[in-house]
Amino acid sequence: MKLDAISHRDRNTKIVATLGPASSDPAMIRKLFDAGVDVFRLNFSHGTHADHQARYNAIRQIEGDVGRPVGILMDLQGPKLRLGKIVDGKLSLAIGQKLRLDLDPTPGTLTRVPLLHPEIFAAIKAGDDLLIDDGKVRLRVLSCSPTFADVEALNAGVISDRKGVNVPGAILPLSALTTKDREDLDFGLSIGIDWIALSFVQRPEDIAELKAIVGNRAWVMAKLEKPSAIESLEAIVAAADGVMVARGDLGVELPPEDVPVIQKRIVRACRQAGKPVIVATQMLESMISSPVPTRAEVSDVATAVYDGVDAVMLSAESASGSYPIEAVNMMDRILKSTELDPLQRIMMDAVHSHRKNDARDAISAAIRTVAETLPVAATVAYTSSGATTLRVAHERPRAPILSMTPVAAAARRLSLVWGVHSIQAADVDSAEEIVMRATQAADKHGFGKPGQALLIIAGTPFGVPGSTNLLRIAWIGDEPDAS
Q: Which of 9, 31, 80, 82 is catalytic?
A: 82
Residue 124: pLDDT over 60: yes
Domains of the chain: 14-78+176-347 (3.20.20.60), 87-166 (2.40.33.10), 359-475 (3.40.1380.20)
Q: What is the DSSP letter of 12?
A: S
Q: Which of 11, 41, 68, 360 is catalytic?
A: 41
* DSSP per-residue letters across 156-208: -EEEETT-BEE-TT---SS-S--HHHHHHHHHHHHHT-SEEEETT--SHHHHH
CB-count burial class (<10 Å; 0-12, 13-18, 19+) for 215:
exposed
- The predicted pLDDT at position 427 comes to 86
Segment holding 137, helix H or strand E: strand 137-144
Regarding beta strands 311-314 and 14-19, do their DSSP bridges make them parallel or antiparallel, or are they unpaired?
Answer: parallel
CB-based contacts of 314, cutoff 8 Å, min separation 6: 15, 16, 17, 18, 283, 284, 324, 327, 328, 331
Q: Could you read off the pLDDT of 326-355 as tens digits, one per residue?
A: 999 999 999 999 999 999 999 999 987 776
Beta bridge partners of 43: 75
CB atoms within 10 A of CB 480: 11
Annotation marks residue 468 as catalytic: no
Q: Could you read off the pLDDT of 472-482 as tens digits, one per residue?
A: 889 887 554 44
Positive or negative CA dihedral for 408, 410, 415, 421?
negative
pLDDT, average across residues 423-442: 87
Contact between residue 223 and residue 200 where contact means Cβ atoms under 8 Å apart: yes
pLDDT band at 3 (very low <50, low <70, confident <90, very high): very low
Q: Which of 223, 226, 275, 391 is catalytic?
A: 223
- The predicted pLDDT at position 466 comes to 60
Selection from 45, 40, 39, 38 nearest residue 24 by Cα: 40
Annotation marks residue 223 as catalytic: yes
Contact between residue 73 and residue 194 where contact means Cβ atoms under 8 Å apart: yes
CB-count burial class (<10 Å; 0-12, 13-18, 19+) for 296:
exposed
pTM for the complete prediction?
A: 0.93
Residue 108: pLDDT over 60: yes
Annotation marks residue 295 as catalytic: no
Annotation marks residue 281 as catalytic: yes
- Preceding amide of 291 cis, omega within 30: no
Q: Which of 13, 18, 281, 338 is catalytic?
A: 281
